Amino acid sequence: MAEPATPSRPPEPPAAGGWAPVTPPVSARGAAPVWRGLEDRLYWIDQGLQRLWRMHVPSGRSEAMELPQTPAALVPCRRGGWLIALRDGIFHLPDWNLPLQRVIDAPYDTRRVCFVDGVCDPWGRLWLAACAETGDDPAATLYCLRTGERHRAELARIGPAAAACAGLAWSADGTLLYSADGVARIVYTQPMHTAGRWPPELGVRLPLRRLASPAPGGGEHPAGAAVDRAGRYWLALEGGARVVCLTAEGQIASEWPLPAQCPTGLCFGGPGLRTLFVTTARQHRPADELAQYPDSGAVLAHPLDAPGLPAPLYGD
């Protein structure tokens, strides 16, 4: 059921460092932002309050929809609507005002495991990482959902993923899968060996870069990611108040300090895909931090010199 829309909030002048909040701090833990250019809208999920949000950026008008479970991933579909990964399965949302339709059940024990991240590849297949919630078992598993145009939905287990897997993103040509290990704080790449066959096969996971250790007590860890048109990998570092941009060779091209301690996801959008949108979190954050970063829980935006890439579509 959709909630009443929030009051309109036009974009503000850039804050310190060039960032501008484009929403109020409405999300407990925003994540998985996606830009839909035909609508001039930004969509994202709130994992803390179990909501799906959308915002018409030119007018600043936002509205939310309640979800029955905690969402982990949000991807647009080629024929319209969305796929949303919830705790106990993957669902299709045909339109904003229509009910969710179950596509397939989750392939794990939902009492202790949940999906944590997801992204589509250039062939329209949805890749998902699932991880146990217990802190002593960070091992993750990677799954792939076959497109549904000519086949029944099928979710294949591809193999183990990086511990506490985050930062899933595909290179533009689909030859490399990026992921980040939330425990070791290493960004990895895996080559795609069988793009046209089912189930697909990935090569050996290779380290691209070890992220610098956070300051004592910082608690920084990888979150959402995206790849731009130049092949660079952008990664939000939750707890680190920054986004890093890595070259295809693993070098740091740039670091972007944020006016929020916990960036959680990012995407490219706006005219020409020249705006970087970043979701943030405020849930379970200390009061002094929220006083320092009052826009925690907002969506932040920053202009870019070079264009990004649109979100890959699920090939339904």
- Give mean pLDDT, residues 49-78: 97
The pLDDT value recorded for residue 14 is 45
Q: Is residue 88 part of a domain?
A: yes
Domain holding 290, by residue range, is 19-303
Nearest to 236 by CA among 33, 82, 43, 69: 33
Q: Is residue 50 part of a domain?
A: yes
- Give mean pLDDT, residues 91-101: 96
Q: Is residue 10 part of a domain?
A: no
- Residue 58 CA to residue 275 CA, distance in Å, equals 13
194, two tokens: 């069988």
- Residue 44 CA to residue 28 CA, distance in Å, equals 12
Number of Cβ within 10 Å of residue 212's Cβ equals 13
Q: Is residue 311 part of a domain?
A: no
Q: Which helix (H) or strand (E) holds 234?
A: strand 233-238
> Is the predicted pLDDT of residue 4 greater than 70, yes or no?
no
Tens digits of residue pLDDT in 114-133: 999 999 999 999 999 999 98
> Is the predicted pLDDT of residue 223 greater than 70, yes or no?
yes
Q: Is residue 7 part of a domain?
A: no
Q: Among 3-12, 60-69, 108-117, 217-226, name the one with the lowest average pLDDT.
A: 3-12
CA distances, 26 to each of 49, 135, 137, 226, 281 (Å) = 10, 28, 32, 23, 9
Q: Is residue 240 part of a domain?
A: yes
> Is the predicted pLDDT of residue 217 greater than 70, yes or no?
no
The pLDDT value recorded for residue 150 is 59
75, two tokens: 């991807």
Which residues, other chains included, contact 197 with Cβ-Cβ below 8 Å and sequence gap of 6+? none
Contact between 285 and 291 (Cβ < 8 Å) = no
Place 162 in a pLDDT band, splitting at 50, 70 and 90: confident
Q: Which helix (H) or strand (E) holds 291?
A: helix 287-292
Domain count, the chain: 1
User: What is the domain-level CATH number for residue 81?
Assistant: 2.120.10.30
Contact between 286 and 31 (Cβ < 8 Å) = no
Q: Is residue 6 part of a domain?
A: no
pTM of the model: 0.92
> Is the predicted pLDDT of residue 16 greater than 90, yes or no?
no
